[in-house]
């Protein structure tokens, strides 16, 4: 249920709506839009009479929302959400680029890759200190040492850090270094992690699960939003189908579908999505053309030496050449690449 109020409703009117909602055993949640103020009524709204709320002052109308998600929906907030991370915007005109190796590797290697990316103007560095791996015997990341190296990248180059958080117990140590907390595909429905990561207030990059529908993705985003954290970036990274020629099937259809139903930004990870380095640039360009707000790419100064995922990792030359094309393409779809 959604209470739509005049954009210039006085504070006391908003307060009266909030109080009424609480009296009805529900929880209010406001979003201040350009054209109006929307107050979501969270909880069991089945037995609430719309009249109880619509008669309050400054209330324009009261809607029952059939979608299972509310806070992240366009119904709640029609304008695109634009995040501002120390001057870089995500979800607006600027294309957001985050690049780096799959895993944090030895210090020199990480700094080498980061340095080269920094020279290209990349402002967000990605690398996993904690790696979710199907096999318990595969390399699980450098963990604390990895976080330390990411901090070194931050200090050395002033880059912002995007890194994955796997475990509610280590959120705090990751959040100390990360500027954006990444939640991976395997954890998209790890609701404890969503809530605890959301509660940090940090921006969250939420990857779509391998068999998650777009609605599932938006519902998982709603878990974060329900923690009063609207700094959410969705990420398409490939789904599972019968096709065996690619690692996953990057589902770019998700971009216009998300854009229709949600105000949140969506970026694409074509490196995992198609999983073969020489096919990544084609899918990266397609992502931008389809309306993505950004790209997350695996890039390494020497992919053949990468500790993991080398076969899907771009080298610097190919990454630079891709950026050049993205720069040309962006204005056609109303975007800009300023790096």
Q: Which of 226, 233, 267, 322 binds a copy of itself (CB under 8 A)?
A: 226
In the bound state with a copy of itself, the residue whose beta carbon lies nearer, of 106 and 119, is 106
Distance, in Å, from the CA atom of 171 to the CA atom of 285, rounded to the nearest integer, reads 33
Distance, in Å, from the CA atom of 233 to the CA atom of 205, rounded to the nearest integer, reads 5
Distance, in Å, from the CA atom of 212 to the CA atom of 208, rounded to the nearest integer, reads 6
In the bound state with a copy of itself, the residue whose beta carbon lies nearer, of 13 and 261, is 261
Task: Please answer whether residues 90 and 336 qualify as being in contact, where contact means their C-beta atoms are separated by less than 8 angstroms.
Answer: no
Distance, in Å, from the CA atom of 43 to the CA atom of 93, rounded to the nearest integer, reads 35
Q: Does 256 bind a copy of itself (CB under 8 A)?
A: yes
Distance, in Å, from the CA atom of 212 to the CA atom of 190, rounded to the nearest integer, reads 13
- Shortest distance in whole angstroms from residue 132 CB to a copy of itself: 6
Q: How far is CA 75 from CA 4, 31, 42, 80, 181, in A?
A: 10, 11, 15, 12, 27
282 phi/psi in degrees, rounded to 5: -60, -45
* Stretch of residues binding a copy of itself (CB under 8 A), selected from 80-88, 126-134, 303-311, 312-320: 126-134
- Shortest distance in whole angstroms from residue 154 CB to a copy of itself: 25
* Stretch of residues binding a copy of itself (CB under 8 A), selected from 62-70, 74-82, 115-123, 146-154: 62-70
Q: Which of 252, 264, 297, 316 binds a copy of itself (CB under 8 A)?
A: 252
Q: Which of 47, 135, 155, 176 binds a copy of itself (CB under 8 A)?
A: 135
Q: Does 328 bind a copy of itself (CB under 8 A)?
A: yes
- Shortest distance in whole angstroms from residue 116 CB to a copy of itself: 24
* Stretch of residues binding a copy of itself (CB under 8 A), selected from 91-99, 143-151, 174-182, 243-251: 243-251
Applying the rule CB under 8 A, the residues between 282 and 311 that interact with a copy of itself are: 282-283, 285-291
Q: Does 92 bind a copy of itself (CB under 8 A)?
A: no
Site map (CB under 8 A) of a copy of itself, residues 169-208, x = contact: x----------------xx-xxxxx---------------
Q: Which of 34, 108, 155, 242 binds a copy of itself (CB under 8 A)?
A: 242
In the bound state with a copy of itself, the residue whose beta carbon lies nearer, of 118 and 189, is 189
- Shortest distance in whole angstroms from residue 84 CB to a copy of itself: 26
Q: Does 115 bind a copy of itself (CB under 8 A)?
A: no
| # binding residues, a copy of itself (CB under 8 A) | 70
Q: Which of 63, 168, 173, 311 binds a copy of itself (CB under 8 A)?
A: 168
Distance, in Å, from the CA atom of 181 to the CA atom of 184, rounded to the nearest integer, reads 10
* Stretch of residues binding a copy of itself (CB under 8 A), selected from 108-116, 199-207, 279-287, 314-322: 279-287
- Shortest distance in whole angstroms from residue 324 CB to a copy of itself: 9
The footprint of a copy of itself (CB under 8 A) covers 42-43, 68-70, 132-137, 166-169, 186-187, 189-193, 209-211, 213-216, 219-220, 222-223, 226, 239-246, 249-253, 255-257, 259-260, 273-274, 278-279, 282-283, 285-291, 325, 328-329, 332-333
């Amino acid at each position: 249920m959604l209470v739509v109020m005049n954009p210039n409703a006085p504070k006391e009117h908003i307060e009266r709506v909030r109080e009424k909602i609480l009296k009805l055993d529900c929880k209010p949640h406001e979003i201040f839009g350009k054209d109006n103020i929307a107050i979501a009524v969270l909880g069991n709204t089945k037995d609430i009479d719309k009249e109880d709320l619509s008669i309050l002052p400054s209330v324009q109308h009261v809607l029952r929302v059939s979608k299972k998600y509310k806070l992240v929906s366009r119904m709640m907030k029609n304008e695109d959400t634009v995040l501002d991370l120390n001057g870089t915007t995500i979800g607006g005109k600027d294309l957001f680029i985050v690049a780096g190796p799959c895993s944090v590797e030895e210090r020199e290697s990480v700094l080498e890759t980061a340095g080269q990316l920094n020279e290209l103007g990349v402002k967000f560095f990605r690398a996993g200190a904690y790696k979710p791996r199907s096999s318990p015997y595969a390399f699980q990341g450098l963990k604390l040492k990895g976080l330390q190296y990411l901090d070194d990248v931050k200090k050395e180059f002033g880059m912002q850090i995007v890194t994955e958080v796997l475990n509610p117990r280590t959120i705090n140590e990751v959040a100390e270094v990360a500027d954006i907390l990444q939640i991976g595909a395997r954890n998209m429905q790890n609701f404890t992690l969503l809530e605890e990561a959301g509660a940090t207030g940090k921006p969250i990059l939420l990857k779509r699960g391998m068999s998650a529908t777009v609605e599932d993705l938006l519902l998982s985003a709603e878990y974060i939003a329900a923690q009063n954290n609207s700094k959410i970036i969705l990420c398409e990274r490939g789904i599972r189908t019968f096709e065996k020629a690619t690692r996953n099937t990057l589902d770019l259809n998700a971009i216009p579908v998300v854009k229709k139903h949600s105000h949140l930004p969506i970026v694409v990870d074509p490196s995992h999505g198609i999983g073969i380095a020489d096919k990544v640039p084609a899918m990266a360009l397609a992502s931008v053309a389809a309306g993505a707000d950004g790209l997350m790419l695996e890039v390494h100064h020497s992919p053949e030496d990468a500790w993991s995922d080398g076969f899907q990792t771009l080298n610097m030359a190919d990454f630079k050449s891709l950026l050049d094309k993205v720069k040309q393409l962006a204005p056609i779809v109303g975007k800009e690449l300023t790096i």
